[in-house]
Structure 1
Amino acid sequence: MPTFIRMTSPEPSVYPGPTHSLADIAKASWQQLASVLDERTDASPAPGFKTMIVASRTETSADARTVVLRKVDTDRKYIWFHTDVRAAKVMQFEAFPAATLLFWDETLRTQLRFTVETHLHSDDYIADEHWKEVGVGSRKNYLSEQEPGSEQPAPYPGFPPALGANLPTPEASEAGRPNFAVIECRVLAMDYLRLSREGQVRAKFQYEPESKMTWLAP
């Protein structure tokens, strides 16, 4: 199995050798993605795969935003992130479930691009289970009295201004639960790209409707 080594110089070789098969790269990519969920500490820098760009479509154009990775199922090939149920992207996903997730790790010089089918969870046990894991610092944002993206006469902090720099109590934070939603992403395919001065490595892993993996020209 290939080992991802975080280093600044010299840059590690990325050419697949005898042990760097397509299956090895796929497994390592998913493990690296899942590992960031165990690396979250206030003292350490955020791992590169902690955030992702989510691209969706509308009737007339495309839309994109950055969200935080919340959960990964490496076996079943699912990815989850959280959102305010009132956000525009929720309506976009309901109308057009297909989306793209884009991850980039500057240290690893690796991009993971996922083709996914989204599913909304807002008033079910899955959303309830995720909500239990959300800290009050994040729950604070779901207390917003205003819909995300709505016009305001002045800067709005994204939560009741009276809270200021304070956190709500766990009991008070429960008021944000109706605004909380989970977006479940069923991965249909993964495009892997590793950059290096020695040469690039790119591969595609198709999971549905049939399983297939192949090398690609960068």
Structure 2
Amino acid sequence: MSISEQSSNSKAVEAPSPSLASLEHESWQQLASAPESEDSAFKTMIVATCTDHRADARMVVLRQVDTARKYVWFHTDARSEKVMQLEAFPTATLLFWDEKQQIQLRLIVETRLHTDDYVADDQWKTLWTGSRKAYLSAQKPGSVQPAAYPGFPEHLGESLPTDAESEAGRKNFAVIECRVLSMEYLHLSRKGQTRAQFQYEPESKMVWLAP
């Protein structure tokens, strides 16, 4: 066989398709690394909730991931509408999108609110003052205001509160714990789409899906 024929044959050999298990593992590893990575597209996500008469959605920051137990966490103001929605309807959808890799992850979760317990205390301690500043607002999120309101005491302006000043925001801080019931993976490509579902509850199973 000539060198040119060998080269032609090697080009024709395609990389093996990923297994369901490898896709699931890689997806969780990407989520786990996202909170500490400034470049990860999975650092932020859309949280979709519902009420008895409409759907709702907003962007939040992914704060922590437990790949073994299949849990993720994010923070919010305890007075926000999403907290009331999740208390009434604990099931939510978390949507992640990586524009560069063209990968979407959709997680169906059951949520639990933490405000006055060790979970909220521990995560509050890890929050830097820049993030704590958002919890110093005297106004309830979503409330009508007579003029544009920055979401924190106006005298702070572009300045950060001191550590002592930031502690006033602790009473407004909440952690949303999300137990992942299932995760759906979608990769868009000109060569063909790849879609799979990884279910964890009520039973564990992995299946390919039509895109």
Normalised TM-score (structure 2): 0.92
Residues 5-154 of structure 1 mapped to structure 2, 5 A cutoff: 17=16, 20-40=18-38, 46-154=39-147
RMSD: 1.1
How many Å apart are 1:115 and its aligned residue?
A: 0.4
1:157 corresponds to which letter in structure 2?
P
CA deviations 1:17-51 (Å, max 9, x no partner) are 25x210000000000111112323xxxxx421010
Compared CA separation, residues 16 and 178, structure 1 to 2 (3 A):
farther
2:30 corresponds to which letter in structure 1?
Q
Specify the alignment match of 2:5 in structure 1.
Answer: none
1:90 corresponds to which letter in structure 2?
V
1:177 maps to 2:163 = no
CA deviations 1:24-79 (Å, max 9, x no partner) are 00000000111112323xxxxx4210100000001101000000000000010001
Compared CA separation, residues 173 and 27, structure 1 to 2 (3 A):
same
- Structure whose CA Rg is larger: 2
Provide structure 2 residue ranges, at least 5 long, that are not aligned to the other structure.
1-13
Note if contact 2:135-2:173 (Cα within 8 Å) is conserved in structure 1.
Answer: yes
- What secondary structure is seen at the aligned counterpart in 1 of 2:135? helix
Provide structure 1 residue ranges, at least 5 long, that are not aligned to the other structure.
1-14, 41-45
Distance 1:217 1:16 in 2: 21
Normalised TM-score (structure 1): 0.89
2:153 corresponds to which letter in structure 1?
P
Distance 2:52 2:151 in 1: 27
Distance 2:120 2:83 in 1: 14
How many Å apart are 1:124 and its aligned residue?
A: 0.2
Aligned residues between the structures: 198
Specify the alignment match of 1:12 in structure 2.
Answer: none
- What secondary structure is seen at the aligned counterpart in 2 of 1:107? coil
Distance 1:52 1:17 in 2: 30
Note if contact 2:37-2:43 (Cα within 8 Å) is conserved in structure 1.
Answer: no
- What secondary structure is seen at the aligned counterpart in 1 of 2:166? helix
How many Å apart are 1:108 and its aligned residue?
A: 1.0
- The structure in which a higher percent of residues are helix is 2
CA deviations 1:172-215 (Å, max 9, x no partner) are 10000000000000000000000111110000000001000000
How many Å apart are 1:114 and its aligned residue?
A: 0.3
1:17 corresponds to which letter in structure 2?
P
Superposition misfits of 4+ residues, deviation over 3 angstroms = none
Distance 1:48 1:74 in 2: 18
How many Å apart are 1:16 and its aligned residue?
A: 7.7
